[in-house]
A and B are shown apart, each in its own frame.
Chain A
């Protein structure tokens, strides 16, 4: 046929032909389209990872900005050094000391949010096909970054004590046999995003040992360490290792403001030097203005009071969410009980796909969450969801959880009619978990398995193949 041509729209061909190969791994579309609706004002969103910046005193902000304008107007409006201002790095050292870490300003680089650390470390270490190890589930925002560097992401399952370091060892053995050396292990050990669980002390010690034995780099992402609502703090991996094999990612996003876009990396000299070149290529330097804001704010002592206020606010919201889950979710659902951070990870019966459930939740109840599959690279997590308790007030959290619980119960009941039995277990009320401190023993037992998931999608794909 003479007039036949592939793809009539010139525009598609024009652009698609120019896309780099790595863009093929960049996923989006239907999922992103759904998330676009969650931003509408009528929707209660438990989806984001937003701290509540409405609690920050406007007068303090105004005073700090005025101080900067009067004292250092020119330099605040000017480019800064790629690695960040010395004084900002000194403040970072102070913040790290709060968790018993000792870091020198010359071992640091100030970045544009913690996200840039993930990007720069990947850019520095990962060639296409290289193995990067992370938790299952992992921080959903790290997945596209690893994908864009064409990393081969291997996820290690977790339980209520965080990453299963014994499974990590097995994976490392296997990779050894396959002559693959993982470039780094990415982990959020404390109040993990999205699972909410915390790596236990014995596992922390073992992980650091493993890194030393095998000369592996660990990227410790610790945005929430200071947001602890109960229990005693655990030492960060960086404190256990002393900064030899552990690269430390910190951020001001959750303790001060994500709007200022400032994070940092502490790393051994040779790694830092390469990362610095990468940063120069990416954005020359991070904002001088907001670095000076950090400098001014953390010079005073009341940043500690602000974190205390945040902790008491988020603790209360977490408790409201846990109470709501116990009251409104069906007995088949399970969820984690974080001692800090911003997230709860809930897992539903495996016949519910949370991506589809989100469509129903948005359509019928105007409420949103993050479907669990976003936290996996291999299609697992389809029955789980991430719920945020820092960004909405207590009333909205309770109402949001009630609405999600309603659609979940409807689906569980409907499923029961398909399979000819009531899928909703009839449990007397007192047997149900009562929120903080009121959990039944069976429930506590089940919780240990909440974050372990069967490779459901994989199975289905195999069947399709």
Chain B
């Protein structure tokens, strides 16, 4: 790449601010190694002005969570007319909302654990609590309770009995107005990262997350070096790997992702994969899964960053006339 100006969008007010700053730090290093001029932007109220002032050719969106990964910043970039990395507005909306994701999966025959979703209004105004016993009966314990929109593991609780459910709901509702209660599927935690390459979607080697025994119920371990072991490529029979990657590609295409994404799954004891969720902007920190998977596929972090920037520019060329508002 020649001396391109790249705006790196990072931080912001999201709960995943710190992770975003860590992702961005790595991205900025990589861009500098690639000979780019980096314009770092901590996303705030002056975003539109700063984007315009940056005179950047392209924006690298290194934001996670609300605002940065839910289509908001993407919409602003569309309006400003600046090409940007990763998925567009619609795919961001679809992936950020786990309930929407799961409805789309179900509608298209992609397996996902059974679930029920409610917003606060359902409980406050329509007495949804009366339906809880029926839900518990249908899903069986333990039930996983999670906020619809939180990207990281924050707010996810296991309810082991009816008496745990209200407290778990309160925790989940701390992060979003909408929550889901999901059947707990015991199995192996897999993550498939995907990259666009030459017009097709390329699944990267499957990563398996193995929380160390003592941290099994500690979601914080996901961000801590040394508390979770990752195995990549995951030790799976070839047919299972193929099936898992196929499902990931189908999910990616169904949601309309672009550039890169990560699809998280659970592989039940009978080797049946089920899709849990997709991340439109997977973490890019040194403990994140997508960079590990890329590395296993022989793609360095710099090469990954370079590819994402090129894809952003390529999409803009195709779409340019329609988006120069």
Contact = CB atoms under 8 A, between A and B. Distances in A.
A binds B: yes
Interface of A: 1, 3-12, 15-16, 19, 24, 27-34, 36-37, 40, 42, 351-353, 356-357, 359-360, 362-363, 411, 413-415, 417-420, 461, 463-464
A7 B220 CA distance: 19
Contact of A359 (B155, B219, B229, B293): B155
A30 B167 contact: no
A8 B173 contact: no
Interface string B111-132: 0000000001001100111101
B320 interface: no
Contacts of A1: 233, 235
A356 B224 contact: no
A30 B123 contact: no
A463 B124 CA distance: 30
Interface string B67-98: 00000000000000000000000000000000
B140 interface: no
B316 interface: no
A33 B15 contact: yes
22 contacts: A7-B232, A7-B292, A8-B232, A11-B286, A29-B221, A34-B15, A36-B21, A37-B13, A40-B13, A351-B170, A356-B154, A356-B171, A360-B174, A363-B66, A363-B175, A414-B173, A415-B166, A417-B128, A417-B129, A418-B132, A419-B166, A420-B130
Given A7-B232, A33-B223, A418-B132, 9 more contacts: A4-B233, A30-B219, A34-B15, A37-B15, A37-B18, A356-B154, A414-B123, A461-B217, A464-B160
Contacts, number: 129
Given A9-B286, A418-B132, A411 B230 contact: no
A379 to B, nearest CB: 11
Given A4-B235, A6-B229, A37-B15, A417 B220 contact: no
Given A1-B235, A417-B127, A19 B226 contact: yes
A30 B231 contact: no
Interface string B1-39: 000000000000101111101000000000000000000
Nearest to B158: A464
Contact of A415 (B128, B170, B217, B235): B170
B231 A6 contact: yes
A194 to B, nearest CB: 21
B232 A30 contact: no
A332 to B, nearest CB: 13
A361 to B, nearest CB: 9
Contacts of B160: 463-464
Contacts of A362: 15
B169 interface: yes
A36 B229 CA distance: 26
A362 B14 CA distance: 9
A10 B169 CA distance: 39
B4 to A, nearest CB: 26
B202 interface: no
A19 B21 CA distance: 23
B110 to A, nearest CB: 27
Given A30-B152, A417-B129, A418-B123, A8 B174 contact: no
Contacts of B158: 464
Interface string B201-236: 000000000000000010111011110011111010
B180 interface: no
Nearest to A360: B174
A212 B39 CA distance: 63
A37 B15 CA distance: 7
A33 B17 contact: yes
A359 B292 contact: no
Interface in B162-194: 165-167, 169-171, 173-175
B208 to A, nearest CB: 10
Nearest to B163: A419
A351 B169 CA distance: 10
B296 interface: yes
Q: Which of A28, A359, A411, A419 has the most CB of B within 10 A?
A: A359
Contacts of A352: 170
A27 to B, nearest CB: 8
B293 A8 contact: yes
